[in-house]
């Protein structure tokens, strides 16, 4: 229970804070008359209006990409040390579904939630096409580079090229400078270091 004496202190504190709050509120309303602030608020309102439609179209687009991909599955290891199936063509991976099934959906990005939603409707992959464990980003970058140089080859040939390239990356020692250069050529960040 709050005593009369404590109530007086609470009222005094409330009045002080309320006065400051109202002063700030007045300043904000004054800023809304500034042309730049008006433009910002208008653009923000337009952006907020487009956001739900954009998200829905993105979800539909990604679902279409996943459905029409003709997946080429590889095995990667996630940051938790768990093996994961990942499509080196489109990036679809089972980590998002695994985390959703564990009740950790809040930790997923919007893109990962779209993946999980799509995967809930699919049957699980039992075998990988590429049977070498490789970082997801590296696997996708290698696939993209192989396709860039050989656009007309089939997936079986891609797998052979992929395995040769990965074997070379892992077995040929190069300097840190060459690793940075390799990462740049593959479109990875310059500090990428998950080659093994």
The tens digit of pLDDT for each residue in 94-128 reads 888 888 888 888 888 899 899 999 988 887 777 78
Cα dist from 35 to 38, 46, 166, whole Å: 5, 16, 56
> Looking at the structure, do residues 80 and 58 belong to the same domain, yes or no?
no
Which residue is listed with tokens 């690793």? 179
Higher pLDDT, 133 or 81: 133
Q: How far apart are CA 125 and CA 97, in angstroms?
A: 12
User: Could you tell me the two tokens for 5?
Assistant: 């004496």
Last residue of a domain, one of 22, 45, 65: 65
Quick: pLDDT tens for 4-27: 888 888 998 999 999 999 999 999
Residue 45 domain-assigned? yes
Quick: pLDDT tens for 132-180: 888 888 999 999 999 999 999 999 999 999 999 999 888 888 788 888 8
Q: What is the mean pLDDT of the chain?
A: 88
* Helix-helix angle 35-67:110-120, to 10 degrees: 30
User: Could you tell me the two tokens for 83?
Assistant: 């093996």
Last residue of a domain, one of 40, 65, 90: 65
> Looking at the structure, do residues 181 and 94 belong to the same domain, yes or no?
yes
Give residue 117's domain range: 69-186
Torsion of CA 94, 95, 100, 104, to 10 degrees: 180
> Looking at the structure, do residues 96 and 14 belong to the same domain, yes or no?
no
> Looking at the structure, do residues 75 and 167 belong to the same domain, yes or no?
yes
- Residues in a beta bridge with 88: none
């Amino acid at each position: 229970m709050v005593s009369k004496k404590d109530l007086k202190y609470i009222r005094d504190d409330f009045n002080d804070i309320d006065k400051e709050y109202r002063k700030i509120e007045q300043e904000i309303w004054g800023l809304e008359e500034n042309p730049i602030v008006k433009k910002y608020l208008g653009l923000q309102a337009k952006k907020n209006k487009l956001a739900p439609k954009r998200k829905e179209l993105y979800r539909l687009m990604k679902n279409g990409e996943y459905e029409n991909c003709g997946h080429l599955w590889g095995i990667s290891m996630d940051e938790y040390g768990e093996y994961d199936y990942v499509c080196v063509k489109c990036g679809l991976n089972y980590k998002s579904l695994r985390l959703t099934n564990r009740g950790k959906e809040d930790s997923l990005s919007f893109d990962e939630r779209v993946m999980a939603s799509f995967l809930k409707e699919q049957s699980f992959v039992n075998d990988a096409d590429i049977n070498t464990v490789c970082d997801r980003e590296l696997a996708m970058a290698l696939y993209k580079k192989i396709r860039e140089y050989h656009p007309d080859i089939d997936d079986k040939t891609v797998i052979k090229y992929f395995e040769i390239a990965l074997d070379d990356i892992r077995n040929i020692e190069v300097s840190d400078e060459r690793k940075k250069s390799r990462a740049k050529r593959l479109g990875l960040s310059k500090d990428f270091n998950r080659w093994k």
